[in-house]
Amino acid sequence: MLKDRIMLGLVKFAKGPGNVGVREVAKPAVSAPDQALLKIKACGVCATDLHVMDDTFRYWPPVVLGHEFSGEVIETGAEVADFKPGDRVVAEPKTFVCGRCDVCKQGKTNLCVHRRAPGWGVDGGMTDYIAVPERLLHRIPDGVPYDVAALCEPLAITVHEIDERCGVNAADVVVINGAGPIGVLSAFLAKSAGASRVYMTGMARSEPVRFKAALALGVDGIINVEREDPVKRIMELTGGLGADLVVETSGSPAGIRRLAEMARICGRITCIGLCPADEAAISWNTAMYRQLDIHFNFSSSYTAWGKALRLMASTPLDLRNAISHHETIDNWERVFGDIREERAVKAMFIPADEISAYR
């Protein structure tokens, strides 16, 4: 029946600002022997989804939004060997990479310039079903619920960029610059990796929701940059030494300008946040005189996904503190508005037939 081949999805349906809405889309099929068909169980909203809506991020319309999702395997192609129907999974957002360029041959497919990912390059997870190659799948550990599992993509970013590339040493003092979802998960990761103290900077409007989530996930103190000088406060908190590691997640030029001033001599800075424009000033001479190591990062590695999932399964902290919304895609406008106004941490879209479990 035609009805069985149609589903609803949140779609960027044309070029230009806006042009987003709930539309009927074709239910995908297993069209290649290495593919698995997933029933979506939860899909997180990322700032990238808003950038696609605003026409400030590349995309190929019409395209279903969403690249942070979890699901259940429903059907597999003939060559799928390690997964079967009923398996609970998450999937890396690297659907198409060339496999031939220099970075692909190094295994750094996250940096392939030909990459197309769900939510902007191919249809994503803000719908009922998605078909993905087996090589992108990771099994969800027992005891990790689907909504928490859908945090794996942003958490894997923090694992790759803080733990794998920059490193958190035992008893480090860490400053997280920015209180958005990546900032909150970065704080959780830093504390889980052995930091002795984790401080966060943020704006006043983050106080009601995002600051609360950060404190629940391990932050020791929060500095409201509209009420006090963050550099002065960090120096007070560290006895004048500065932080061992500063994690930039805000993408704010004003925040980036003070990164070096918050770091101690021979400290580290790891940069995750993307700026609205392609230039931001830093305290260059301060970074030189302090001999800082500065790491620039993008996306996540294959290994970071396994680490993120194991961390989800083993942490004594409740990662649901990072989830502020459980909604259906019908309420997307309110959810997107709450994200813009920082009244949300991570919002999850849940299928309409399963939303009652979260209410």
Domain count, the chain: 2
Structure confidence by residue, pLDDT tens digits, 89-128 = 999 999 999 999 999 999 999 999 999 999 999 999 999 9
Q: What is the pLDDT of residues 300-323, one digit of tens each?
A: 999 999 999 999 999 999 999 999
Q: Are 147 and 326 in contact (CB under 8 A)?
A: yes
CA 273 to chain centre: 11
pLDDT (0 to 100) of residue 3: 58
Q: Identify the three-state secondary structure at position 306.
A: helix
User: Which residues are marked as active site?
Assistant: 48, 51
The secondary element (H helix, E strand) that includes residue 64 is strand 63-64
Residue 187 and residue 289 in one domain: yes
Q: What is the pLDDT of residues 238-263, one digit of tens each?
A: 999 999 999 999 999 999 999 999 99
Q: Which of 272, 296, 320 is the last residue of a domain?
A: 296
The answer to whether position 244 is within a domain reads yes
CB atoms within 10 A of CB 352: 12
Segment 9-38 shows an average pLDDT of 97
Domain of 239, in residue numbers: 166-296
For the segment 201-225, the average pLDDT, to the nearest whole number, is: 97
Pair (143, 22) in one structural domain = yes
pLDDT score recorded for residue 279: 87
Q: In what order do the strands lie in the sheet with 63-64?
A: 20-26, 6-12, 63-64
- 54-82: per-residue pLDDT in tens? 999 999 999 999 999 999 999 999 999 99
Both 41 and 62 in one domain: the answer is yes
Compute the residue count for the chain: 359
The SS3 of residue 271 is: strand
pLDDT reported for residue 2: 47
CATH of the domain at 16: 3.90.180.10
In-domain check, residue 33: yes
| Residue type for position 58 | R
Q: Give the contacts of 74 (CB within 8 A, at least 6 positions apart).
A: 37, 38, 39, 85, 129
Kindly state whether residues 235 and 100 are assigned to the same domain.
no
85/72 Cα distance (integer angstroms) = 7
Q: Using CA atoms, how far apart are residues 315 and 317, in angstroms rounded to an integer? A: 5
* Span 262-298, pLDDT tens digits: 999 999 999 999 998 888 999 999 999 999 999 999 9
Q: What's the pLDDT at 276?
A: 85
CA distance 209 to 344: 6
Within a domain: 248: yes
Examine residue 160 and state whether it is found in any structural domain, yes or no: no
pLDDT in tens, 146-169: 999 999 999 999 999 999 999 999
Dihedral sign for Cα 99, 115, 130, 186, please.
positive
Residue-level pLDDT at 265: 98
Q: Residue 15 domain-assigned?
A: yes
d(CA 45, CA 339): 9
3-state secondary structure of 312: helix
51 is a domain residue: yes
| Residue 139 is assigned to a structural domain of this protein | yes
Do 36 and 148 fall within a single domain? yes
pLDDT at 156: 98
Domain closes at, from 296, 312, 335: 296
Q: 49 and 99: one domain? A: yes
> Nearest CA to 342 among 192, 187, 224?
224
Q: What is the CATH number of the domain that holds 233?
A: 3.40.50.720
Say yes or no: 182 and 260 in one domain. Answer: yes
The yes-or-no verdict on residue 180 having pLDDT over 90 is yes
| 27 and 120 fall within a common domain | yes
pLDDT value at 140 more than 60: yes
If asked whether residues 256 and 343 sit together in one domain, one would say no
In a domain, 161, yes or no: no
Distances from the Cα of 341 to the Cαs of 58, 65, 212, 252, 334, in angstroms? 23, 20, 16, 16, 11
pTM: 0.96
Same domain, 140 and 49: yes
| Judgement on whether residues 192 and 281 belong to the same structural domain of the protein | yes
Shared domain check, 181 and 105: no
Q: Which two structure tokens, joined as six digits, stand for 259?
A: 């990164």
Distance in angstroms (rounded) separating the CA atoms of residues 143 and 312: 9
Q: Which run of H or E residues covers position 299?
A: none
Q: Which of 273, 296, 319 is the last residue of a domain?
A: 296
State the residue for tokens 């800082």.
Answer: 292
As a whole number, the mean pLDDT across the chain is 96
